[in-house]
Amino acid sequence: MSYSPTQISALFVVWSVTAFVAELPTGVVADRFSRRRLIVASPIVTAAGFALWTWWPSLPAYAAGFVLWGVGGALRSGSAQALVYDELAACGQAGRYPVIAGRIRAAESVGVLGGTVAAAPLLSWGGYAAAGAASVAACVVSATAAAFLPESHCRTVGDDSVGAVTAEGGWRQVVRDGGRVVRSDAAVRWLVGLVVALTWVAALDEYLPLLAESILTQSNRSSGSVVPEVAALMLIVDVGVVAGGLAARWRPGTRMFGGVLGGGALALAAAAVWERPAAMLLVAMAFGVFTWAHVVTEAALQDRLSPRSRATVGSIVGVGEEVVAVGAFGAWALGSRWCDPAALFAVAAGPYVVVAAFLIVGGRVSRPVRRPGERSL
């Protein structure tokens, strides 16, 4: 069963719109109650969507599955970052957050690597149903592991007590606290905007197999099946993402950050123009840079937030990211009428070049003054 680029983009839009609607409510719940419980629920809800895809495959089932996946992602978004940061802060180890967050991103990519490697033998052994069942099982294992995460109910950072949130103020206070932080702190606004902007190309990672297929077809001048080769090229990209996550311990100044980000954008554009299998090495480098940049920026944002509203602000960021993602999916659906995947990825690299140029040329001047001892990013 195959679908057109427009239908695929429509499903991705359903995914992002669902996450958009669910983001803020789930963030408030995470700041009001248990973050760990939301992290446990996240893969269970996602597993329900995978089950629909596996045993009742159809366009409506795929749409419903993306709704469930969107809700599952929203349950984790903001909650996971807030739980990790506050638990580290409770132990006096908040400075290790970028390293831990980078390792988490790397571990997620290793999971994707494992799934990609296992997909071929699973499909040959049991077909689509076996691969789907394995995805559901992996979600259940993830939920079980999440149930053992530590969670301190009275975490104290500076003068802020997270436990007080559950005792006073209620829902409205949590929302007001989160909104006030974003409105009143210029550095937070700047970092929120940067994190959201860095979602642009990352949202298009779902289309990377189309880029790989296009490159292989163009290179071989053949219309035959290139599925095994596509899987191999996607492994290369996953390795790049893992490397980017592990590099998150490096937090340079604004201009250096912008230079590296711009280099990643140019690498992606060059890969799209090159249109040879080896170009996926440049794609891997680009996505490694984008992963590193996102983790570093998100860590800098966490440094500025209060534990009272950390997950809520994280969900505000998530809302912005979903808006960008919907725009990216819509742009892809529209652009695919006239351009092939390589051209679309080349164009998609453009906004990152603009962001990088701003950081290099104007970021140091326009960026808010840092707190004493605060890192550039």
CA end-to-end span of the chain: 45
Average pLDDT, the chain: 82
| pLDDT (0 to 100) of residue 144 | 94
How is residue 350 written in tokens?
């453009």
Which band of pLDDT confidence, cut at 50, 70 and 90, is reported for residue 363?
low
How is residue 323 written in tokens?
């808006």
Cβ atoms of 342 and 272 closer than 8 Å: yes
Cβ atoms of 12 and 70 closer than 8 Å: no
Which band of pLDDT confidence, cut at 50, 70 and 90, is reported for residue 72?
very high
**Residue whose C-alpha is closest to residue 123's, from 135, 137, 108:** 135
Highest mean pLDDT: which of 56-60, 83-87, 180-184, 258-262? 258-262
377 pLDDT above the threshold of 80: no
| pLDDT (0 to 100) of residue 364 | 45
User: Kindly report the CA angle at 35 between 38 and 27, in degrees rounded to 5?
Assistant: 80
Strand partners, 11: none
Collapse the DSSP code of 286 into the 3-class scheme (helix H, G, I; strand E, B; otherwise coil) and give the result.
helix
Collapse the DSSP code of 325 into the 3-class scheme (helix H, G, I; strand E, B; otherwise coil) and give the result.
helix
How far, in Å, CA of 17 to CA of 161, rounded? 33
Amino acid at 19: A
**Residue whose C-alpha is closest to residue 292's, from 114, 111, 99, 95:** 99
Is pLDDT larger for residue 8 or for residue 292? 292
